[in-house]
Amino acid sequence: MKNTYPKHEKLKSKTTIDSLFSEGKSVSKYPLRLVYVPITAENDLRLKMGVSVSKKYFKKAVDRNYFKRVLRETYRLNKSLLLDNMQEPYAFMFFYQSKERLSYQEINKKTVQLFEKFVEATKTVDK
């Protein structure tokens, strides 16, 4: 499987984003949070992903953009953990929620732990 983050995987639908915040469930692994909601499959697409970094914690756009790039990269490299264990399609929103400036390695490690936590949470729901 390719480690890519193509345009069709990016979460852009306003209605899907609204449903994420109104009826989505979440898992956390400090300082990361993943909000997810099942979606209807379109064009054999199994997931849609968006990232967000709060202006509350990082006032400068340069800092927010850096952490968004890091989140997208850790997602891109570890999305096989999600795809191998998902039975139905999901929409995700991936948040960085801290003033702490973690290194790339720490964020990558937390991302793996977060994705494993998501897999466990959805397995208990599916059974």
CATH number at 102 reads 3.30.230.10
The CA distance from 79 to 5, in Å, is: 9
The CA distance from 55 to 63, in Å, is: 9
What order of strands is seen across the sheet that includes strand 90-96?
A: 25-29, 32-38, 90-96, 47-53
Q: How many CB atoms lie within 10 A of CB 16?
A: 17
Q: In total, how many domains does the chain have?
A: 1
In a domain, residue 109? The reply is yes
In a domain, residue 2? The reply is no
The CA distance from 65 to 88, in Å, is: 30
Which residue range(s) make up the domain with 73? 7-122
Q: What is the pLDDT along the chain (127 residues), one digit of tens a residue?
A: 678 888 989 999 999 999 999 999 999 999 999 999 998 877 777 889 999 999 999 999 999 999 999 999 999 999 999 989 888 899 999 999 999 999 999 999 999 999 999 999 888 765 5
In a domain, residue 91? The reply is yes
> pTM of the predicted model, to two decimals?
0.90
Q: How many CB atoms lie within 10 A of CB 50?
A: 21
In a domain, residue 74? The reply is yes
Give the model's pLDDT for residue 123: 82
